[in-house]
Structure 1
C-alpha cells in the first residue's frame, strides 16, 4: 500500500537517535544504529473509507474441540500472575506455532485475560510482514485512524515516546497518566485478541497495567449487575481525532471518527463470560439516561475499575517480551514514569477486530 505524507527521514530530527550495543561490546566501543529503525513511526496522509461490517469467527472456538487445548504449552513453564487474571510463559516460541497452536492461544488468552510470553526475539525479529500474517489468523486487521505505523505497514499500530517526541494519545493536563481503556472501543467491531511488544524500552518504568473486566463485574452486587445488563453506552473516537487534528501525535486523521453504541455488559463469544465494557478514554454517555444519571453511574464504574487492585496485574517489560490480551474482557493503561530519563519507549501492536460486542442481556437493542 503506498505511503505518503510524513516520512521516516522527516521524523528523524524529532526523534532521539537510538543506538544499540552488542552485549559483548565494552563501553566506548563502536555503537550500531538502532536495530528497529525501520519500525519507527511514519504518518501517512492516505485516506481510508469507513470500516464495513464483516463476519468474525473467533479461532478460540476451534480450540474448544481439541482434546488438549493447552497442548501449545507442552514443555513450557507457566505460572499465574494473579489467581484471577494473567499468565506468564517461558519456553514457547510464538513464531513457530501452527494454526492449531494459535487457536489454542486464542482460547487461553480469552480465559486468562492476558498472557505474557518471554524470550520472543524470534517473533519480534521476523518483521512487519510476519506481524500481519500472525494477526490475520485472529481477525481482520484494524488500521488505526490516527496513529503512526512503519512505512508501508499501516496495520501495525506504533507507540513511541522519548525525551523530545511523543506520538501517543496522552492528556498532559491530567494529574496522572493512568487512563484505563480498551483499544479503539469506538469501532463497531472492536478488537479481540491483541498482540503487543516493545522494541525499545527504558531501563525501568514504562510498565503496563491490566485489569480484568470479568472480575470487576463480579465484585458488584447481583442486583446492580442485572441493572447494568439493561444499559448501553456510546463509545466515541471524536476526541482522539481532534487531538491529532490539533497537530499532536503526528497530526494525521486518515478515517473520519465514529461513535458506536455497545452494551455496558458484554458476553464473550467463546467462554460465555460476562465483562464490564466501559472505559474512561472512549465511553461518553449511557443511552437513555439523563446527563447527571449517566455521569453518576459511569463515574462509579470508572472509580471501581481504578481502585480494584485485586483485579489488576502489572506487567514489567523485559527485552523480547510479547504480551497478548483479549480486549473484550480486559482494560489496560500504560504507565508514563520515565518521561524525564531521556530513554525511548517504542512499541508495536497487532490489532485484529472481533465481533460486534454481544450483550449479556439477550435481545438488548443496540440501535
Structure 2
C-alpha cells in the first residue's frame, strides 16, 4: 500500500541522480519528513524465484565470471549489469540468492530509480517509517556515516559488533524478502585507498545445520517475538518523526522454511528478536543468548565482503543474517542506498528439509 506523502518534501531530480556524488560533496543529504504513512496490510507473496530456471542459465551463460566466496554463503557475478537484467534473469537471481544467501555484483551503474524498479520485481517495497531517505524517494534507505558524527561514533564505541547482527525488518508481519544495497562511497585510509566498512553475512541454513539433532528438534517447535523497538527508540532519541506507527510485536518461527528452496533456516537475531514464546524470561534469555553466540561464532558459515565503489549486494533475508562493520568512524565517510522488497509471512513446514539433508539426497540420487 502506498503511503500518504502529499506533504513530503520533494525536489526535481535527474534520472541519473548520483547519490554517492551527493554524499561526497554535501555530506548527509537525507530528509526525515514529518508525514504519516498508513499501516502496512498483510499480503500473500508470490515469489519470482519459483519462476526460475533450476540451472539459472540466463545468468550463468551470460556472465563473464561467477564464483563462490565461501562454501556456504556468498557468490560473485561479473559481466552483468543489474540495470539491464531480463525478466528471466531477475527470476534466476531470486533463486540464486535463495540458494547462496547473498550475491555480489561489481562495477554496477545501478541508479536509485533503477534500484526501485528492480526491487519491485521481488515484492512490494518497504517504506521505512523512521530512517532517512533522499528527498522525494521514500523507497530508498540511505546508508551514510562519517567521521564528523560523534553521536554515532560514541554510540558504537562500547557496543559489540555482534549486537548488530540482524535480518532486515523482521518485526513486520511480512518481513523483507530480498535487500538490494549499492555502496558508492568508501572511507579512505592514510594512503588514499578504501579501508574499512565491510559487511558480514551468515547462512541461516548452515546455522541450523550446525546445531545438534536434539537442539534442532527443540528449536523447531518454538516461535519468537520480534520488535521494532530499536528503531523507535533511535528515532525518539534523535527527535525524528515516526511516519508510521511501529506494528505490535510480531511472532515468527525460530526455524523458518524458505518458500523457494524448501530448506530450513534459523530465524532469530539480536537486532529485532525480543523473546521466545512460552518460555520464562530466564529460559528465553538463555536460549536466545546461545543462538546469538552460535551465529556470531559461525566463522565457518559466514563471508566478509570488502566493498568496492559501485558494488551491489543482493541478499535473501529469509536465509541469512548480516552485520555492517563500523570500524571507520575515525577514517572517513561511507555511503550507499538500499531498497527492500517484502516477502511472505515466515512459516515453518515440518516436512521441510535442511540444506544439508536436501543436498545429500540429491547427491545420492545422482549416483543411482
TM-score, with length taken from structure 1: 0.84
Q: CA deviation at 1:199?
A: 2.3
Alignment of 1:327 with 2:327, yes or no, is: no
Q: Is the 8 A contact 1:159 1:167 kept in 2?
A: no
- Corresponding residue of 2:355: none
- Counterpart Cα distance in 1 of 2:68 and 2:231: 35
Alignment of 1:224-239 (within 5 A): 224-239=215-230
- C-alpha change, 1:226 and 1:35, in structure 2 (3 Å) is same
Alignment of 1:206 with 2:197, yes or no, is: yes
- Corresponding residue of 1:93: 81
SS at match of 1:199: strand
- Corresponding residue of 2:271: 281
- Corresponding residue of 1:161: 145
- C-alpha change, 1:87 and 1:316, in structure 2 (3 Å) is same
Could you tell me which of 278, 292, 298 is aligned with 1:308? 298
Q: CA deviation at 1:170?
A: 9.2
Could you tell me which of 339, 350, 363 is aligned with 1:350? 339
SS at match of 1:44: coil
Q: Is the 8 A contact 1:197 1:321 kept in 2?
A: yes
State the superposition RMSD in angstroms: 2.5
- Counterpart Cα distance in 2 of 1:212 and 1:310: 10
Could you tell me which of 65, 69, 94 is aligned with 2:56? 69
Alignment of 1:82 with 2:67, yes or no, is: no
Q: CA deviation at 1:60?
A: 0.4
- C-alpha change, 1:68 and 1:307, in structure 2 (3 Å) is closer
Structure with a larger share of its residues in helix = 2
Per-residue CA deviations over 1:187-231 (Å, capped at 9, x if unaligned) read 011011110011211120000010001101100011211111110
SS at match of 2:56: coil
Q: Is the 8 A contact 1:209 1:312 kept in 2?
A: yes
Q: CA deviation at 1:130?
A: 2.0
Could you tell me which of 289, 293, 298 is aligned with 2:283? 293
Alignment of 1:268 with 2:258, yes or no, is: yes
- Corresponding residue of 1:27: none
- Counterpart Cα distance in 2 of 1:252 and 1:309: 38
- C-alpha change, 1:253 and 1:173, in structure 2 (3 Å) is farther
Q: CA deviation at 1:79?
A: 0.9
SS at match of 2:143: strand
Alignment of 1:104 with 2:69, yes or no, is: no
The number of residues matched between the two structures is 332
- C-alpha change, 1:2 and 1:169, in structure 2 (3 Å) is farther
Could you tell me which of 205, 211, 221 is aligned with 1:220? 211
- C-alpha change, 1:191 and 1:167, in structure 2 (3 Å) is farther
Unaligned runs of 5+ in 2: 12-18, 188-193, 353-368
Could you tell me which of 93, 99, 118 is aligned with 2:106? 118
Q: Is the 8 A contact 1:185 1:191 kept in 2?
A: yes
SS at match of 1:325: strand
SS at match of 2:38: coil
Could you tell me which of 236, 245, 250 is aligned with 1:256? 245
TM-score, with length taken from structure 2: 0.84
- Counterpart Cα distance in 1 of 2:298 and 2:316: 19
